[in-house]
Amino acid sequence: KRLILIGPPGSGKGTQSPLIKDEYCLCHLATGDMLRAAVAAKTPLGIKAKEAMDKGELVSDDLVVGIIDEAMKKPSCQKGFILDGFPRTVTQAQKLDEMLAKQGANVDKVLNFAIDDAILEERITGRWIHPSSGRTYHTKFAPPKAPGVDDVTGEPLIQRRDDTAEVLKSRLEAFHRQTEPVIDYYSKKGLVANLHAEKPPKEVTVEVQKALS
């Protein structure tokens, strides 16, 4: 399967991805995770992306299309993939169609994590992550066994630089202005399944399974 996950910051894309990935043996390509790794490693890509990310704005289409094009060539992605956080502009969606058309492939389903903006600040400001595995926790909704520490490795958890109430406002603005048109783009192709992303994680997982069955 070739799946796309679209939703605003904190809607649960990263939380549901590992479950879908394991069930269908897909590779998980999250542009945000890849960009954060590039920023941490201070690569030329990371240096270019950092300023926009810190402000909660989108990184340029050329940069993200380049990293997705590269990542999709990995052998583990040949059977299918989950795109988490890509495409985020109509231009990115068109470029993706072109890349897939070259392989004679197409998008199978777009999962729309629909949720009210008002819920997202609490989700974002309470999030803690284990950077090397990508495991995500929440102080209230998904607390680690010991505060501030990853359940599996015992290593410290961190908060993302852009997970402040202030930066969230720009991220939401970017979502409504630039990414919502992408949902229309795929709706016209009949590919969108709408999820109730405000429900508890397990209930969202059931909706995902129904959408993909």
Q: Which positions are catalytic?
A: 13, 88, 127, 160, 171
CB atoms within 10 A of CB 116: 9
Of residues 10 through 29, those in contact with Zn ion by CB under 5 A are 14
Q: Which does 88 bind (CB under 5 to 8 A by kind): Zn ion, ligand AP5, none?
A: ligand AP5
DSSP 125: H
Nearer residue to ligand AP5 within complex by CB, 104 or 166: 166
Q: Which of 3, 20, 29, 56 binds ligand AP5 (CB under 6 A)?
A: 56
Q: Of these, 13, 28, 50, 135, which contacts ligand AP5 (CB under 6 A)?
A: 13
Instruction: Determine the Cα–Cα distance for residues 49 and 38; give it in Å rounded to an integer.
Output: 8
Half-sphere exposure in the Cβ direction for 210 (13 Å, CA)? 10
Structure tokens at 127: 């999030």
According to DSSP, residue 28 is labeled E
Kindly identify the residues of this chain, within the stretch 75-134, that bind ligand AP5 according to CB under 6 A: 85-86, 88, 92, 123, 126-127
From 27-35, 97-105, 145-153, 187-195, span contacting ligand AP5 (CB under 6 A): 27-35
Tokens of residue 73, six digits? 């060539």
User: Least distance from C-beta 75 to ligand AP5, angstroms?
Assistant: 23
Calpha distance 176→41 (Å, rounded): 30
Say which entry of ligand AP5, Zn ion, none residue 130 contacts (CB below 5 to 8 A, set by partner kind): none
For residues 13 and 28, which CB has a smaller minimum distance to ligand AP5 in the complex? 13
Q: Does 52 bind ligand AP5 (CB under 6 A)?
A: yes
**Range 71-80, long-range pairs (CB < 8 A, 24+ positions):** 71/29, 71/34, 72/29, 72/99, 74/27, 76/27, 77/26, 77/27, 77/29, 79/25, 79/26, 80/1, 80/2, 80/3, 80/24, 80/25, 80/26, 80/27, 80/108
Which C-beta is closer to ligand AP5: that of 104 or that of 160?
160
Footprint on this chain of ligand AP5 (rule: CB under 6 A): 7, 9-15, 31-32, 35, 52-53, 56-59, 64, 85-86, 88, 92, 123, 126-127, 136-138, 141-142, 171, 200-201, 204
